[in-house]
Structure 1
Amino acid sequence: MSAVRTEAAVGAIVVAVAIGFMVYVSQFTSLSSDRDGYVLNASFRSIEGVSVGTDVRLAGVKIGTVTDVALNSQSFRADAKFNVIDGVELPDDSAVVISSEGLLGGNFVEILPGGSPLNFAAGDEIEDTQGAVSLISLLLKFVSGGDNEG
């Protein structure tokens, strides 16, 4: 009988640890990204390296997450939706840029705040956007002489 109790106790501990892990994951990852915040939209020429779950940062601090990326068949641009946490109010002349974490790092969405006294409301679209810059294209321009003087 003692072996059965030991196995039951070990099983209960495993289940408790699994539940604790799931709670931890849901609190500290993007699984709970829509908890409190508002959605903003932006349209980019190129959104290379950005997908659902990509960080949205302001001054290097994560303030949100990309929630949707889709091709706009009328404008042939990439439309993105992202969630911004409550308490972060962005001026309505802010810009949004696809930035890189470095030479080998991934891309993220960076908000460059403006100076307007008015702020974006939920569902607004950020008009001032800059898409991803292809590192390969820049290297090819550099290698081929970039400037065509002559």
Structure 2
Amino acid sequence: MGTTRTMEILVGAFMVAGFVALFFLAMRVSNLSAAGAGDGYALLARFDNIGSLKVRAPVSMAGVRLGRVEAIDFDQETYQAVVTLRIAPAYDQIPTDTFANIYTAGLLGEQYVALDPGGSPDYLANGDQIQHTQSALVLERMIGQFLFNQAQESSQ
């Protein structure tokens, strides 16, 4: 009877370890484990269409993650999405003429903000706005334009 009790305890401990590992994996995949949400400096970017960009989406330059999307708001005067980017303090030399683009990563379609540096000798600071932005490409809109162009060509 002692060996079955020991076996039950070992199986229970193994199950608990498995659930803990699964929890940490889920946090890692969903970007909820990102620490340091308050450090760094904020940049603003305005987009006509952000697609399915979400808060906590990565902000990267040259494939290196510099920060995360901190907030997404809507400007009722310009009818644009205002995205607040939280950039890590180590990356404080981003040129003022940098481009902000929304791209899709991977098969799951997670969107992120990619920064393409300009050549300005001046750098963006806390609260500055990125002037050059490119909205997300919406697949439905591209397909609609393609079908419209094909219909026009066939009618001529």
TM category, shorter: 0.7 to 0.9
Summarize the Cα distance change of 1:96–1:115 in structure 2 as closer, same or farther, 3 Å threshold: same
1:128 partnered with 2:132: yes
Summarize the Cα distance change of 1:99–1:27 in structure 2 as closer, same or farther, 3 Å threshold: closer
How does the TM-score come out when normalised to structure 2?
Answer: 0.70
- Unaligned stretches of 5+ in structure 1? none
Q: Deviations over 1:101-133 (max 9, x none)?
A: 59x955432211112233222332212222224
**Equivalent of residue 67 in structure 2, options 54, 64, 68:** 64
The 3-state SS of whatever aligns with 2:53 is coil
Question: d(CA) in 2 for partners of 1:22 and 1:121?
Answer: 37
Q: Percent identity?
A: 31
How does the TM-score come out when normalised to structure 1?
Answer: 0.72
CA contact (8 A) 1:39 1:82 kept: yes
Q: CA deviation at 1:69?
A: 1.8
Q: Hey, what does 1:116 align to over in structure 2?
A: 120
Summarize the Cα distance change of 1:106–1:88 in structure 2 as closer, same or farther, 3 Å threshold: same
Greater shift in the superposed pair: 132-141 or 63-72: 132-141
Q: Hey, what does 1:79 align to over in structure 2?
A: 82
Question: d(CA) in 2 for partners of 1:26 and 1:106?
Answer: 15
- Unaligned stretches of 5+ in structure 2? none
Task: Tell me the matched-pair count.
Answer: 145
Q: Deviations over 1:11-45 (max 9, x none)?
A: 22322333344445546752133525433221111
Amino acid in structure 2 at the alignment position of 1:66? V
| RMSD of equivalent CA atoms | 3.1
